[in-house]
Amino acid sequence: MKERKYFLLIRNMTKLEFAWLKENGIKIFLPSYLPMDRFKKISTESEIIRGETPELCMDVLKNKYKDYDIFYLNISYLSDDKDYKYIDFVLSQQPDIAVAFVCVPKNIPEYKQKPSFYCKYEVCFTLKKYYNDSKSWEIYVVDEKFSTNGIIEHHFFFIGDRRYSTLDKEFLKKCRIKYGIPQIELSVAKHIMNKKHVSERCIYKLTPEFMKKVRQKKKEVIGAKNAK
């Protein structure tokens, strides 16, 4: 049997970018007044800010987090149709439809240099993708060590309605022909990216052990169907 040289590593960029916000010290709090039956929770902290109004919640945070600039996360656009749900945000010092509070450390270098740019593109854009379950992924062709030094090639995917662009298809074809990635592993990668509800898992390594579990689970599902 020919020895495999290359494998796939898949990264959920929507989840990773949200995690990076937290790693950079940004705190996102939910207010107690938010009607959870209408809006999805978006926060990095378990603490709920208690206050009857957005302004009272803001006062609590300003007293507690003096080394942060604190913003209302206001909804700037809302589409709540049956077949199309989408929300966009803006960070503001004035409350409108505020669904969370965002605390940005004053000492972040990029924020100090370009505060409005940082808020719009590093924070709001990331929160918008996370809230709307944007399906942005990266697939890496890596060596058997799955290390950063072993990255051979990578490609960015944005999956819309399960459609793949010409460049997406060319990359997947290259994986199969040039790097010897089996079709079953490419199918698993596509299945992960195409899931309707994205899990919290950020990174998938399609190791032989991972694929063994996938095959075993598939056998169990088929066996259960045949037993009926």
Distance of CA 173 to the CA centre of its chain: 26
If you search the block for the tokens 């605390």, which residue do you land on? 103
| Whole-number pLDDT of residue 195 | 78
Contact 179, 173 (CB under 8 A): no
158-177: pLDDT as tens digits:
876 667 889 999 999 999 99
Contact 126, 17 (CB under 8 A): yes
| Whole-number pLDDT of residue 2 | 59
Cα separation of 79 and 224, whole Å? 41
- CA 201-205-206 angle, 5° bins: 125
Cα separation of 136 and 159, whole Å? 7
Mean pLDDT of 21-28: 95
Torsion angles phi and psi, residue 13, rounded to 5: -70, -30
Structure tokens at 196: 């309707």
SS3 of residue 223 by DSSP: helix
| Whole-number pLDDT of residue 160 | 65
Mean pLDDT of 85-96: 91
| Residue of higher predicted confidence among 140 and 224 | 140
Asked whether the predicted pLDDT for residue 1 surpasses 60, the reply is no
Contact 162, 16 (CB under 8 A): no
Q: Where are the alpha helices (DSSP H) in 118-207?
A: 125-131, 166-177, 183-194
| Whole-number pLDDT of residue 85 | 74
Structure tokens at 224: 């259960």
Asked whether the predicted pLDDT for residue 128 surpasses 90, the reply is yes
Q: Which of 193, 181, 188, 187 is nearest to 143 (CA)?
A: 181
Contact 200, 183 (CB under 8 A): no
- The pLDDT mean for the chain works out to 89
Please enumerate in sequence order all residues whose Cβ is within 8 A of that of 45, keeping only pairs 6 or more positions apart, or say none: 27, 28, 29, 30
Domain ranges of the chain: 7-13+135-227, 25-107
| Whole-number pLDDT of residue 154 | 94
Contact 211, 181 (CB under 8 A): no
- CA 155-160-162 angle, 5° bins: 85
Structure tokens at 221: 């599902």
48-65: pLDDT as tens digits:
999 889 999 999 999 999
| Whole-number pLDDT of residue 141 | 96
- As separate numbers, helices (DSSP H) first and strands (DSSP E) second, the chain gives 8, 9
